[in-house]
Amino acid sequence: MDWTNGFIEIDGTSLEYACFGAAPGDAPTLVMLHEGLGSVAHWRDLPEVLAKRTGFGVLAYSRAGYGQSGAADLPRPLDYQTREAVDVLGPLLDAAGVQDCVLLGHSDGATIAAIYAGSVSDMRVRGLVLIAPHFFTEPGGLAAIAATKAAYVSGDLKEKLAKYHARPDDAYYGWHDVWTHPDYAAWNVADTIDHWRIPVLAVQGTDDPYGTMAQIDEIDSRIYSPLETLILDGVGHAPHREATEATVAGIVEFCARLKRMEEAEVEIA
């Protein structure tokens, strides 16, 4: 594949990708998984910034139905995040030639990264950066998602999403209709945490309308591997946009520590 940008064919669907910095054979790769209404373009300049400041290569992609990627089958199944993790992410890493990586996800993307690390045995994955992850639903978060429909139907949310998605209706309703489905209130994938064996950085804003500190507490109560947390007071659902420098600095230092750990010499007695 061209290590700049283009499309990767996964299971008959064309997925948009963009790459920054070093190629997979030359450095570890930060693999960026976007939020429920995100895409490659929605990350804005964050991939380029992280490539420059970490020295890692960066690979971002748009899931089916998002950005410029091919269409997704709608309605999405209620376990769509697990399906993305198990059926799509591994083949995408293979196709991209990723050899050593950190999965960095935001919101839905963080959940997908978390599920992958807890469900798939992949020695390429050396760490997780989880920004505003979800492991179970919360009444306040479900209410906040339901409230977005008015902004989409009568406000300017559709116009805003059209800047980042070829199919804004698919992107929005594919996300909204799952989270507001009556059966989705019982969704819970927290058991994936039990199976992590790699270092984790969890980033959470205290004013996130879609998820509370209960999500981070769940990680802390179940994790067996090293955990670092970056809790940002007064910050909402997008710490990388609302508290950019603090979030980037935390990610950069986490990646630097991982690199030092990987390169440390081990003395054999």
Q: Please write the tens of the pLDDT for every residue from 1-51.
A: 556 889 999 999 999 999 999 998 899 999 999 999 999 999 999 999 999
Long-range interactions of 238-242: CB distance < 8 A, separation 24+: 238/35, 238/106, 238/132, 238/205, 239/131, 239/132, 239/203, 239/204, 239/205, 240/46, 240/106, 240/131, 240/203, 241/44, 242/205
Q: Domains in the chain, please, with CATH?
A: 5-261 (3.40.50.1820)
Average pLDDT over every residue of 115-125 = 97
Residue 263's pLDDT is what?
82
CA gap 196, 43 in Å, rounded: 26
CA gap 181, 198 in Å, rounded: 33
Q: Would you say residue 121 has pLDDT above 60?
A: yes
pTM to 2 decimals? 0.96
Residue 265's pLDDT is what?
54
Average pLDDT over every residue of 247-258 = 97
Residue 149 · residue 142 · CB < 8 Å? no
Q: What is the mean pLDDT of the chain?
A: 96
Residue 267's pLDDT is what?
52
Residue 3's pLDDT is what?
62
